Structure 1
Amino acid sequence: MSHQVIIDYDDDLLINVGLSPDEFALEARLLLAAQLYEQGKLSSGQAAKWCGKGRVDFLFSLERLGLPLSNLRPDDGDLEIGFARCGRALADTNTPLSTEARNTRTIPCRH
């Protein structure tokens, strides 16, 4: 199911931002997609598709908007490292980490 958001604005807004109506519509979609990506509500691929860009183009657009390229939180990095090392997320191991493992960020793997 498809939905629409309608934004009413005057020509003054277009003059102030220096965009045509079509350019403004594209910029508004990009801004909303970027915000949802930054909040972790959309993946970069989902955000890119939603605003009509390729994923790489979307990610490069974030710099122009003053947003970070990655929306990973510090804890997400640990999960990604665990997955890369063990083929599963750290949270899935059900193994308490030793103090040494937490401090060195080494993740025990059971093979």
Structure 2
Amino acid sequence: MKTLTINLPDSLDIEEFEAKMLFAGQLYEKGKVSLGQAADIVGISKRSFIEIMRRFGFRVFNYSVEEVEHDIRVALGY
């Protein structure tokens, strides 16, 4: 795993865990890392990452309503 060092302004009131969650959540939503990789970045289990994602405004499933409706129609043969 690569190591990344980020210099943040002293005025930014953010804990390390929060910064890791924000970073990992963005990477996951953009499809750059898997759910397991995102959890590893934060240093927690996949299950914990899934449970915490919503508090940070991230979604586990990145499907739009239209994509879900399309998948349902295809699965039902419409």
TM-score by length of 2: 0.71
User: 1:29, CA displacement in angstroms?
Assistant: 0.9
Give yes or no for contact 1:40–1:71 (8 Å, CA) kept in 2.
no
User: 1:37, CA displacement in angstroms?
Assistant: 0.6
Work out whether 1:7 is the aligned partner of 2:7.
yes
Structure 2 counterpart of 1:45:
36
**Computing the radius of gyration over CA atoms, which structure comes out larger, 1 or 2?**
1
Task: Give the letter aligned to residue 7 of structure 2.
Answer: I
Structure 1 counterpart of 2:47:
56
In structure 2, runs of 5+ residues without a counterpart are none
Aligned residue for 2:43, secondary structure, equals coil
Task: Give the letter aligned to residue 3 of structure 1.
Answer: T
User: 1:72, CA displacement in angstroms?
Assistant: 4.3
Task: Give the letter aligned to residue 5 of structure 1.
Answer: T
Structure of greater relative contact order (alpha carbons < 8 Å, 6+ residues apart): 2
Q: RMSD of the TM alignment (CA)?
A: 2.6
User: 1:107, CA displacement in angstroms?
Assistant: 8.1
Out of 55, 69, 72, the residue aligned to residue 60 of structure 2 is 69
Out of 16, 19, 37, the residue aligned to residue 25 of structure 1 is 16
Q: Distance in 1 between matches of 2:44 and 2:51?
A: 11
- The ranges of structure 1 where at least 4 consecutive aligned residues each deviate by more than 3 angstroms after the TM superposition are none
In structure 1, runs of 5+ residues without a counterpart are 18-23, 82-103
User: 1:47, CA displacement in angstroms?
Assistant: 0.3
Residues matched between the structures, number: 74
